[in-house]
Structure formats: structure tokens, C-alpha cells
């Protein structure tokens, strides 16, 4: 089974997908005239200028939900894996993916807003919805919905749970070893698993409102706390910072682990971490209550910056400054190109980050990473559940089939349990398969939509024109812009005009 997953992973994450991710970001960056830079101030102001409604959540809550999916183990264990297999230069390519990916995030999240629906009193949207409504390709929408349910409901939750289990075990020890059908597992992991499952059940059975209320408090707190710890490490070693940045940039092109390894691991972990182009962000974006679709597109573009340029960079600096990492070569014998820590330390795990903070703060540093990882991973599991739920709702609507949501909730809880007690490498490869499948379908789809209707560009220009005109309240008229299939916004405008 593991050999098959590795084989499938190699096909999905071929150089074609890597170049497609970078190409899509460059494509939309040029088309939007680098809106991710021009509208940076606007992104910030939009975060706090909207309010939730009975049917939707606020822009900030939508940002928190999407960030809960973006800010996860990819920021701690994923960055460590990128450095461990791709060298310091992989961090540079993560930055490139974030900068270009912000424009991709704008495009896909704006599409999520344009083609969202009111599903029994709740806003829903995402790639499945805009493939059907924007491209008139229901079959592609169904295919994406199935892929996302498999990825977010089966493959990806295990990664988050696995990292939490490993981090807790490293902090508190394995505890007593118990033999299970999944192999030997320590009691410490089992206690952590029990806590995760109880809290997870309480929140996901409360729906998107409970998820949004939880994440809008936890996500900013955990991200800021983590960045502050990183800043302390940087401050204490400020003389090393110029050399670290120089090493990252120079290694991006000379590459200790090989040029292809630096790009491949940097892009793969970058896409996994910030999720730009993957198709996950539009689900939360569509749930937001906004006056104009472009507003939430810009907010979601900002979330990519928070994830990679802030949190991932914080992790990279801590690891590289303290030199708590190994770099493994791509040769068959897997010999180390650089070895600073024991060879038995698992690269695809939070170990490098924990060791980095432990070298500065002692045992508190390792405990802090364990706690941070718990919240990072837990909120990401919540985001995965919401994505799976949204796509189940799409299949109900598109295929007229009744899929019980309780079944999806139980499936995710089972995969969390399964992921906690299994080895990291196998679980990460499963996650890569899920991410890759969604990325292929979504990126190809949003590029095709551009050539067919260019809705994201029309929405951005319309928003910029209204902003330049100084309107007090933004409106969105899809018919006037030549955008078909935006039924929600057409009805909203008609109702608004009828009430005047």
C-alpha cells in the first residue's frame, strides 16, 4: 500500500504541477497588475469593516477559518521537511509561492463569492460551485467535490493529528507502550488523541458558526504567540540574521540538496502550507457576508502572506539560526549532506522546530511548540471538516443524493485517530496525494474560467472603479458586467432595488 501511495504521489507531484502552481500565480499576478501589492492597505482595512449575518460570517471570521486551514502542521513540520529535504533554499521558493500565490488566492476566493449559493439559510461555495456555474461543467464540479471529500475527509486530517501526537510524545515522553491493531503506541499519544476527539466533536457538531467563533479567537492568538517567540530567537541572534537570509537566497540557486530539490520541496510545502490554488480557501471565502465579491478575494490574498511570509518564515529562521536541522540527500543511500542533529530525528515532523526552541528556552521551548502545534493542527482539522461538509452539500444539491453529515463527522474523527498512531512519512504522503489532486483540478479550472468569462478581472475592475468614485456602499451587478451564473448576486441586487 505504501509503495502504491509513493508511486501515485510521484505522478501527481510531477514537475508539471510545480510549474503549474508557479505559472498560475504569475498569470494572475500580471493580469491583476499585482493586486496583492497594490491593495495591501485595502486588504488590512477590509478585515475589520464587515459584520456577520444570520446566513453568513464576517470577513474576519472567514479569514480565521481559512487561516485555520492554512496555518497548520505545514508551518512547523512542513517547513522542517522542506529544509531537511530541499535545503535552506527551499524557504526562498516557499516565499515565491506565497507572493505569486496571493494572486491565485484572490482569483479563486473571488470566484467562490461570485458563484456562491444560499443553501437552506447558509452561504456555501467553492470550486465545485464555480465549475458548475461558471463553466457549465457539473461533471467537473462533482469530480472536485469527490476529490475534496476524499482529501479533506480522509487523507489530510491524519497529518495534523500525527504531528500533534509526535509533538506531545517528544515533550512528555511516549508513556507506557500499548500494542494495538495499528502497531505499538504510547499512552501519551492516546491521551492527546482523546482530548482532540472530545473537543473536535463538540465543535463540528455545532456547524460553521461555532467553527468561526472558535477560530476567530484561537487563530490570531496562536499565530501572534508563535511569531513573538520567533522574534525573540531572532533578537537574541540578530547578528546571524543577514547571513541566514543570504544563505536562503544563495542556496535557492546553488542548492545544497540540488536545485530541483530546493524548488520541488519549496513549492510542494509552500502549496501545502498556504493552500493558494489548492481550492480550499474559496469554501470559507464564500461563507462571508460582503458587499462585493472582490473584497473577500483581497482578504484571502492577505491570508497567504500571514501563513507563509510570517509564520513559515518564523519557523525557518528559528531552525536555521539555531542550526537544529539535517539535510538529507536524494541519493539511494539517503546520506546526509548536512548533519547538525542525530540521524534518527524524523525530518517530516515538528522535531527540528522543537529542538530549535529548546536550544534557546530549554524544556519550555519544546513544550511551547507542542502546545502551538496542538492548536495549529486542531484548527486545521476544523477547516478540513468544513470543506468536506460544503462539498457533501454540493453533491446533495447536484446529484440529489442524501449523504448524512454525521457520517462525514465520524469519518474525520476516525482518520484523526488513525493518523495519530501511524508513522509520519506514510501519513504525509497520503496528504500530498490529496493536496495534489485538488490543486490539479482547481488550478486548471480557474485558468479555464478566465479564458471563458474573466469574472475575477471584471469583479476587480468594478470594485476599483467604485472605490475610485468614492461610493458609500458597494454593489455588484453581474449582468451589467457580463457575468453569467451568479444567481445569488442577481437576486440580492433585485431585492435591494425593490426595497428602495
**Residue 481's CATH number:** 1.20.1740
- Is 78 within a domain? yes
**DSSP, res 22:** H
Residues 6+ apart with CB under 8 A from 239: none
Task: Report the domain count for the chain.
Answer: 1
| 189 close to 169: Cβ distance less than 8 angstroms | yes
- Is 12 within a domain? yes
- Is 499 within a domain? no
Site of grid cell 496562536:
222
Query: Which three cell numbers, joined as nine digits, stand for 335?
Result: 546520506
Nearest-angstrom CA–CA distance, 168 and 34: 42
The count of other CB atoms within 10 Å of the CB of residue 55 is: 14
Torsion over CA of 381, 19, 255 and 69, rounded to 10 degrees?
-10
Q: According to DSSP H, which parts of 52-155 are helical?
A: 59-70, 73, 79-86, 89-114, 127-135, 138-150
> Going by DSSP bridges, is the β-strand pair 336-339/326-328 parallel, antiparallel, or unpaired?
antiparallel
| 489 close to 478: Cβ distance less than 8 angstroms | yes
| 331 close to 323: Cβ distance less than 8 angstroms | no
| 73 close to 275: Cβ distance less than 8 angstroms | no
Q: Select from 182, 198, 6, 165 the least CA-distant residue to 77.
A: 165
- What pLDDT, on a 0 to 100 scale, did the predictor assign at position 177? 65
Instruction: Name the residue range of residue 24's domain.
Output: 1-494
- What pLDDT, on a 0 to 100 scale, did the predictor assign at position 320? 92
Has this prediction a pTM greater than 0.85?
no
Nearest-angstrom CA–CA distance, 298 and 283: 15
- What pLDDT, on a 0 to 100 scale, did the predictor assign at position 115? 94
- Is 500 within a domain? no
Q: Which residues of the chain have pLDDT under 50?
A: 332
**DSSP, res 75:** I
- What pLDDT, on a 0 to 100 scale, did the predictor assign at position 466? 94
Nearest-angstrom CA–CA distance, 131 and 149: 16
Q: What is the largest CA-CA distance in the chain?
A: 73
Residues 6+ apart with CB under 8 A from 86: 93, 255, 257, 261, 262, 263, 264, 265, 266
- What pLDDT, on a 0 to 100 scale, did the predictor assign at position 402? 81
Nearest-angstrom CA–CA distance, 302 and 312: 14
The count of other CB atoms within 10 Å of the CB of residue 202 is: 11
Q: Which residues pair with 178 in a beta bridge?
A: 185
Q: According to DSSP H, which parts of 115-206 are helical?
A: 127-135, 138-150, 156-172, 187-204
Query: Which three cell numbers, joined as nine digits, stand for 209?
Result: 458558526
| Residue 45: Cβ-neighbour burial (10 angstroms; 0-12, 13-18, 19+) | exposed
Amino acid at each position: 500500500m505504501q509503495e502504491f501511495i509513493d508511486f501515485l504521489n510521484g505522478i501527481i507531484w510531477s514537475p508539471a504541477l510545480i510549474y503549474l502552481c508557479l505559472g498560475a500565480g504569475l498569470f494572475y499576478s500580471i493580469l491583476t497588475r499585482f493586486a496583492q501589492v497594490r491593495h495591501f492597505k485595502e486588504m488590512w482595512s477590509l478585515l475589520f469593516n464587515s459584520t456577520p449575518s444570520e446566513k453568513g460570517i464576517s470577513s474576519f471570521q472567514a479569514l480565521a477559518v481559512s487561516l485555520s486551514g492554512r496555518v497548520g502542521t505545514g508551518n512547523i513540520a512542513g517547513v522542517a521537511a522542506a529544509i531537511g529535504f530541499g535545503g535552506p533554499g527551499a524557504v526562498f521558493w516557499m516565499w515565491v509561492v506565497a507572493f505569486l500565490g496571493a494572486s491565485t488566492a484572490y482569483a479563486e476566493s473571488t470566484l467562490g463569492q461570485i458563484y456562491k449559493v444560499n443553501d437552506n439559510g447558509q452561504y456555501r461555495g467553492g470550486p465545485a460551485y464555480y465549475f458548475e456555474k461558471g463553466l457549465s461543467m457539473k461533471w467537473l464540479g462533482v469530480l472536485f467535490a469527490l476529490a475534496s471529500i476524499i482529501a479533506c475527509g480522509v487523507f489530510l486530517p491524519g497529518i495534523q493529528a500525527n504531528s500533534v501526537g509526535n509533538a506531545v510524545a517528544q515533550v512528555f515522553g511516549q508513556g507506557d507502550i500499548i500494542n494495538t491493531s495499528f502497531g505499538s503506541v504510547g499512552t501519551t499519544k492516546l491521551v492527546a488523541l482523546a482530548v482532540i476527539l472530545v473537543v473536535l466533536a463538540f465543535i463540528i457538531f455545532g456547524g460553521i458558526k461555532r467553527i468561526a467563533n472558535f477560530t476567530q479567537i484561537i487563530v490570531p492568538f496562536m499565530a501572534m504567540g508563535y511569531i513573538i517567540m520567533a522574534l525573540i530567537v531572532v533578537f537574541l541572534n540578530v547578528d546571524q540574521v543577514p547571513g541566514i537570509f543570504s544563505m536562503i537566497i544563495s542556496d535557492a540557486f546553488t542548492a545544497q540538496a540540488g536545485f530541483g530539490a530546493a524548488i520541488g520541496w519549496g513549492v510542494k510545502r509552500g502549496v501545502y502550507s498556504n493552500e493558494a490554488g489548492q481550492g480550499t480557501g474559496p469554501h470559507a471565502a464564500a461563507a462571508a457576508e460582503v458587499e462585493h465579491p472582490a473584497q473577500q478575494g483581497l482578504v484571502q490574498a492577505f491570508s497567504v502572506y500571514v501563513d507563509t511570509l510570517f509564520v513559515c518564515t518564523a519557523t525557518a529562521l528559528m531552525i536555521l539560526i539555531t542550526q537544529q536541522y539535517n539535510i538529507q540527500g536524494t541519493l539511494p543511500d539517503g546520506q546526509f549532506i548536512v548533519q547538525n542533529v542525530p540521524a534518527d530525528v524524523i525530518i517530516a515532523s515538528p522535531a527540528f522546530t522543537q529542538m530549535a526552541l529548546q536550544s534557546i528556552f530549554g524544556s519550555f521551548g519544546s513544550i511551547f511548540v507542542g502546545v502551538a502545534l496542538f492548536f495549529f493542527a486542531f484548527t486545521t482539522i476544523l477547516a478540513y471538516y468544513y470543506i468536506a461538509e460544503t462539498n457533501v452539500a454540493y453533491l446533495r444539491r447536484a446529484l440529489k443524493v442524501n449523504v448524512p453529515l454525521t457520517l462525514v463527522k465520524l469519518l474525520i474523527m476516525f482518520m484523526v485517530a488513525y493518523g495519530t498512531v501511524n508513522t509520519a512519512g506514510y501519513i504525509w504522503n497520503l496528504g500530498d496525494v490529496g493536496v495534489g489532486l485538488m490543486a490539479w483540478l482547481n488550478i486548471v479550472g480557474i485558468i479555464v474560467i478566465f479564458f471563458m468569462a474573466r469574472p475575477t478581472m471584471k469583479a476587480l475592475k468594478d470594485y476599483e472603479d467604485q472605490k475610485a468614485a468614492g461610493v458609500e456602499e458597494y454593489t455588484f451587478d453581474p449582468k451589467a458586467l457580463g457575468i453569467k451564473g451568479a444567481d445569488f448576486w442577481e437576486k440580492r441586487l433585485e431585492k435591494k432595488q425593490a426595497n428602495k
